[in-house]
A and B are shown apart, each in its own frame.
Chain A
């Protein structure tokens, strides 16, 4: 008679898989990436404008372009990226376990996430904030009037926590109605399950105009109840890789400030401005101290454009979202975008 012990079988299988899989990574993330010829980039399962796959399966969005820029800077090719779509619950395990090299997945930078989850946030690629969408028939003009309202919200996000904080701070009772999936939460809101819907402001205007049965019946409340600085994160324990991600992001922002666009990268190499020359690797070699070559920043901008171009293409004027630059304008243009100088 068969006497197969399933527990032992599972143990043996796991052992077999363990021994069969690749040996542990040798040394630094950068070396491993160069050896593999690919950066593993954790993205979302579909957030309009930030990371989403189109009908052909090509990934597009602001978060996606950050990864592409890093791939261009490090490997010389923006397409050498392995895209790993991650749910909001799974994203942190994926970066901690080394499944992805970089998490570029509209993730809010906060103390606990930075300190307790073993992450390093490399900077801010988009300053967002949380707002409310309500039906006009509710006759409410401010979030403070949302007393005892049921609010549809997505789980596993900072959004859920902010809502509770806001309700407590304002002394109003808000009842969160939590959904696992984004689609489920907005469908529930528009079918009348909740009196209000809350998520990052970057998404609200679009949800109102595209998903509402009648957009004019809905209103985005003026309050922004939280700070949501979104940015790429890497695993702790590899300062060199952290520096590369941080400075590539800085380079994209600095490029806009310096007026270096995707189209003009090559022609600007002859420009007299020393800052531009340094950026493009004509003068001083900035790449060396990062472990890269001198044209890393030029390649990044040539691949995806500067921050302004990335913004306009994915979430700004040239995109369906049509978001204003707002906080995400350069520091000298009324925003708070301020790249640490590349010199």
Chain B
């Protein structure tokens, strides 16, 4: 059955057969050298002499082993490495639980919201015997996950509020919110980050430094909220009015109607678009390197660009973090699929 289906789709007619054969030929040509480079001739030990001897004929995965802590955790103090690891674990754990675990219904958004909120104090410290670590030392994977997780967690409530506000009957409120959404969508994220990091400090009195991470996080939240609000507004507009009439006939107050009937369905319906935004944000967090926050790509640069011995093996390290990004995006996509079904 399956085989028959495959044969029909791949070799059904002349065009499909030609295309299939071409792709097969390309794979046969490309795979052996790739396999040769990535596995057979590759070095996996962090031995720079052995890697140099390869002369790039094989991959030097040792660079990942050598620089793993720096790439994954950035400049976070080495003897406190368990904290960023746990923080990254918390957020990844919440994603995994949402994608594959038993989390359903209300627990799912709650877990996604709580994990970054727990990760924050864990990274910051300064209580219960945990040493305080300034945010400028945070970096690598935990920072990427935190900016995505906290960014979405902060943006979603604001986005919902703005979506409702734009449907409000008060013209002033509606106008202001429309202006905000259009402004936020009219500038690129890079510009928002530049404003948050370069322009704002110049307005502050000398010596007063508002933490860069907070400035950037607020910029990300406000930026993402504008997009989310439009997604949700679309969902609200498409919501069948009959259900609202039915709810009021059953004695639901307007607030109860929104809370128990409209919003749950709307959020479920727009879940794919929300996931789209989350995935985009996950990758967009790499932009914060330009304002000296060293998330995954930034930490990779810090780890390698000044290292005379290991810099030639940049490609391998890039592939490593590309794999991390791919896994993250795949997880987020899966969450949206489950949330949409829930």
Q: How large is the interface on A (under 10, 10 to 19, 20 to 34, 35 or more residues)?
A: 35 or more
Decide yes or no whether B90 CB sits under 8 A from chain A.
Answer: no
Given A18-B210, A21-B210, A24-B208, check contact A46 B302 (CB 8 Å): yes
The answer to whether A45 and B305 have CB atoms under 8 Å apart is yes
| Contacting pair B78 A213 (CB below 8 A) | no
B209 to chain A, nearest CB (A): 6
How many Å lie between the Cα of A77 and that of B218 in the bound state?
Answer: 37
Binary interface profile of B, 282-311, with partner A (CB < 8 Å = 1, else 0)? 000000011110100010011111111111
Contact of A13 among B218, B290, B301 (CB under 8 A): B218
Chain B residues near A44: list those with CB within 8 A: 306
Distance between Cα atoms of A23 and B204 in the complex (Å) = 11
Contacts of A213 in B (CB 8 A): 56
Stretch of A93-101, A263-271, A292-300, A334-342 contacting B (4+ beta carbons < 8 Å): A93-101
In the assembled complex, A51 has its CB within 8 A of some CB on chain B: yes
A2 touching B164, Cβ below 8 Å: yes
- Tell me whether A6 and B254 are in contact in the complex, defined as CB-CB below 8 angstroms, given that A85-B294, A87-B289 are known contacts: no
A65 to chain B, nearest CB (A): 14
Query: A343 at the A/B interface (Cβ < 8 Å)?
Result: no
Is B230 positioned at the interface, with any CB of A under 8 Å from its CB?
no
Report chain A residues within 8 Å CB of B255: 1
The number of chain B residues with a CB under 8 A from chain A is: 59
Q: How far is the CA of A255 from the CA of B296 in the complex (A)?
A: 42
Which of B214, B218, B222, B301 sits near A183, CB closer than 8 Å?
B301
In contact, A6 and B294 (Cβ under 8 angstroms):
no
Shortest Cβ gap from A6 to chain B (Å): 5
Cα(A56)–Cα(B46), bound, Å = 14
A90 CA to B201 CA, complexed, in Å:
12
The reply to whether A17 and B210 form a contact with Cβ atoms under 8 Å apart is yes
| A25 CB contacts on chain B under 8 angstroms | 206-207
Assembled-state Cα–Cα distance A258/B244 (Å): 88
CA distance A152 to B211 in the complex (A): 35
Using a CB–CB distance below 8 Å, which chain A residues touch chain B? Answer: 1-7, 9-10, 13-14, 17-18, 21-25, 32, 44-57, 61, 84-87, 89-90, 93-94, 96-99, 181-183, 187, 206, 210-211, 213, 319-321
